[in-house]
Amino acid sequence: MVFGFGKKGPPQPDDDDNEEVELVLFQGATNGTEANLSANARLVQAGLVRAKELVSDALSRRAEMIRLEPKGKVSLATFFVDGIPYPGNRMPPQAGLAITQMIKLLAGLDIQLSDKPQSGGIKAEYSGTPYTLRVNVNPVQGGGERLVIRAENKTVKLTTPEDLGFNPQMRERIRAMAQTKSGVLLSAGPPMSGVTTMAFAMVRGIDPYLYTVYNMTDVEGRDLGHVTTFEGNPDDNWVQSVTRAKRAEADVLYVGPIRNADYCKEVFEEAEDVCMITEVAAHDAASAIVQISAWLGDPKITAKRLHGVIGQKLIRLLCRKCRQAYRPNPKLLQKVGLPPETKVLYRPPGPAPEGQPEPEPCARCGGTGYYGRTGLTEFIEMSEEMKQIVAAGGDAVAIKAQAKKEKMQSLNSDGLRLVAAGKTSLEELQRAFRSK
């Protein structure tokens, strides 16, 4: 079984498993709320060790996300490693509830509240590595709550356009769009595709010494570098806060995600005299443009105010230790669009030849053939020709066709670049583009 997920059997007499297993160290809530452990002694007794074991098990396997939810008569944990779900432990519902409540307490959330969503975070350390554990709890149908923990390795820096692999031309275009001090720049992608990280990188790509950049939303303790969080009047609504920021000579505002029509209209209306950077959940950049037009109720406003959309899709990187080289068939190169002079490509290790024993799984990647992820990026700019397509109510297919005609960077071209560089495989590209 890859990664050995699932409950381990009892230790055998000759096992060397008597060593004490290292557990994660919880270091406080990111919102500064101090957990009152003494007042919740029964919960601590029932849930603290279980919570530490669950999180430690996940981090030891490089999981970037843990999901714990009630499933019938059990609570089921699922670990996501490089975006792929693997089944974790099944446990009695009482144990799952104890873990969920314990994590809520440590994250500074209300353990008495179970019928509304809550979010927070926990500072932690595991095996000498600092983490931020971002916690989301949501009620589920039939009772109970779904706990989602996203683990952010603080030693891995993905904060600037350079970190995310934005090419120099794309970085320059983002800066040029921000210089107009108006309009909207969007980060778009499906859930769990790093859209917020990409929006952060767009903000951090703008020189705060040349332009006044304000953050207008809760970043849950994440670092925006030299960007100042605007302190408005607590009694103001969103539009009033933006008006105050404009009076403070804001050039660029980083605002919360667009999730509905009312907020979308406010963002685009206020973007007349300040540049807005935000995000939207969408399958890709073209779909994001169509969704924005639907919310605004007038595609002409989209064409007028939208500067561009950067879309992202995460793909797995081949494990450097066990990837296998092969000579590609010329017909395959022609079919997928790789240069005919490509001499070698890479793929994960396959099964052993018939009659030979299977090799031991790679110690680095756990036998998956992949280690870590990176983003494919696309960039749809609102050129004059693109504005005409969007203003006329063009669908995603028409927008993509125009982007291709103008040779704008696409997810496919970026993916083939990584395949040619030996960083990922054609099989992984096919998997990523099949998934929604």
pLDDT by residue, tens only, the chain of 436 residues: 343 333 333 334 444 444 567 899 999 999 999 999 999 999 999 999 999 999 999 999 999 999 999 998 999 999 999 999 999 889 999 999 999 999 999 999 999 999 999 999 999 999 999 999 999 999 998 889 999 999 999 887 666 667 676 777 888 888 888 888 899 999 999 887 888 888 988 888 888 888 899 999 988 767 777 788 998 888 899 999 999 999 999 999 999 999 999 999 999 999 999 999 999 999 999 999 999 999 999 999 999 999 999 998 889 999 999 999 999 999 999 999 999 999 999 999 988 788 788 888 899 998 899 999 888 889 999 999 999 999 999 999 999 999 999 999 899 989 999 999 999 999 999 998 886 5
DSSP labels for 117-182?
A: -EEEEEEEEETTEEEEEEEEEEE-TTSSEEEEEEEEETTS---STTTTT--HHHHHHHHHHHHTS-
- The residue written with tokens 């098990």 in the block is 57
Considering the domain architecture, whether residues 59 and 192 belong to the same structural domain is answered as: no
Instruction: Please tell me whether residues 63 and 89 are part of one structural domain.
Output: yes
* Residue 294 located in a structural domain: yes
Crossing angle of helices 285-296 and 396-405, in 10° steps, is: 130
**Considering the domain boundaries, does residue 200 fall inside one?**
yes
pLDDT at position 243 is 95
Say which CATH number the domain at 95 has: 3.30.450.90
**Domain end residue (candidates: 153, 187, 205):** 153
From first CA to last CA, the distance across the chain in angstroms is 26
Q: Which residue in the block uniquely carries the two structure tokens 């990026």?
A: 377
**Cα(344)–Cα(346) distance, integer angstroms:** 7
C-alpha 58/C-alpha 3 separation (Å) is 10
Q: Are residues 101 and 66 in the same domain?
A: yes
Q: Is the dihedral of CA 326, 330, 331, 335 positive or negative?
A: positive
| pTM for the full predicted model | 0.78
Q: How far apart are CA 316 and CA 81, in angstroms?
A: 10
Residue where a domain stops, chosen among 104, 122, 153: 153
Structurally, the chain folds into a number of domains equal to: 2
Same domain, 419 and 303: yes
Domain end among 105, 128, 153:
153
Structure token digits, residue 219? 């970043």
What is the domain range of residue 61?
Answer: 2-7+20-153
- Whether 173 and 147 share a structural domain: no
Q: What DSSP string describes 170-235? A: HHHHHHHHHHTS-SEEEEEESTTS-HHHHHHHHHHTS-TTTS-EEE-S--TT---TTPEEP---TT
Same domain, yes or no: 248 and 121 = no
